[in-house]
Amino acid sequence: MHLHTRLSKVMALALLVPAVLTLITTAILTTILTTILPGRALAGPTLLFEAQSGRVLYAEGLDDQWHPASLTKMMTAYLTFQALKTGKLKLETQIIYSEAAQAQPPSKIGLPVGATISVDLALQSIIVKSANDIAVALAEAIGGSEAQFVEAMNATARRLGMSRTVFRNPHGLPAAEQVSTARDLARLATAVVRDFPQYAHYWGQSQMQVGAVKIVSHNGLFKTLPGVDGMKTGFICDSGYNVVASATRDGVRLMAVVLGEMSAADRNLRAHSLIEHGFATMGWKILFGAKDTIATMPVPRDAKDAASIRESVIATECNNRRVARAAAVARQRIKARNRAAAAAKRAAQKGNAAAAKAATAPKGAAKAAGTTAKKPPAVAPAKASVASKAVPAATGGSAAPR
């Protein structure tokens, strides 16, 4: 009985390690960035909701306007699905790659002018690769011209209740007037999965194949979030790192909209944490509150207009080498701590396994097993200590070049 109690305590402690490390990570990065960029807000609009009912589980700045970046392509995909539904297009339809498509900056597929691409591959390209050139090709094929397609985007946004959204292009590249909100993007994400469930596999693709080239999604949650359904990422310097993320567990689907994070890692961490929090707390939130839905939650009077956060974003292409460098150093240190903690956790698990084996062994064998079970804990701390001492030295070395 005493052994089981001790094992339970050790296992509980091991489960707390990731949560503590997440808090440390966030605290360190926030401290660094607020030191470099005093007075600048680091958190963008955020929304967590249950997909079927629209019940809001968490919201922050949900009606503040923001540049959607490549989240725009969710609307481009929605209109493509509509064209498939009406029969205007088929998945095997070949659409033409125009000069206007080729003129788009990366991310892109990069075909020769006059080449064709199937609608099926085009959808994969805008969702998995986030290809700006293919978004234009689809817009021209569906709307007749990019301008007419954008008109259809805005008409559809109004029909879906996206009252604070304006589209100016089909891909999300910088345009001062192209804005949306966390609530509006939640409405769009809900409409996509509700109206076109037969195309859910596109959002859940973590990679695609173009000829001999394998292209991997920008969405890092495919590697870390249990039950992830995918959805869409977006980034331009003015918006920071955006994502609409979705995960389903035991028949319940939660969606998170995260806008304006400072790096891709921050975006992934924020979305992952929100969804995990949602699954962990949804039961009691529904019981004691959380009655508002995306449709019924009142619009705050102080909802803000869009503004660029270019100066805060951790990306060298946004001319913020100093910020990117400082964040990179901080991340290397955090990775070192994570590796040390992981080594300690593995050592603890080995010790627990040996102790559990001793506890369940027959009386004759228990004595021998007990002797064996005591050895790993004595060795394990030494391994963890070596990892925690050796890794920071390597980290410092790798972070030294500037």
Structure tokens at 40: 């600048």
Active site residue 246: no
How many Å apart are CA 131 and CA 123, to the nearest integer? 10
Could you give the CA distance from residue 213 to residue 290 in angstroms, rounded to a whole number?
Answer: 46
Q: Is 263 a known active-site residue?
A: no
The set of long-range contacts for 148-152, using a CB threshold of 8 Å and a minimum separation of 24, is: 149/79, 152/79
Catalytic residue among 73, 108, 129, 232: 73
Confirm whether 285 is a catalytic residue.
no
233, burial (CB in 10 Å: exposed 0-12, middle 13-18, buried 19+): buried
Question: Which listed residue (98, 130, 180, 246) is catalytic?
Answer: 130
- DSSP per-residue letters across 342-359: HHHHHHHHHHHHHHHHHH
Instruction: Name the active-site residue from 70, 125, 180, 246.
Output: 70
Helix-strand-coil percent breakdown of the chain, rounded to 5? Answer: 55, 15, 30
Residue appearing with tokens 């076109």: 196
* DSSP-based three-state secondary structure for 89: coil
Backbone angles phi, psi at 24, to 5 degrees: -65, -45
Active site members: 70, 73, 130
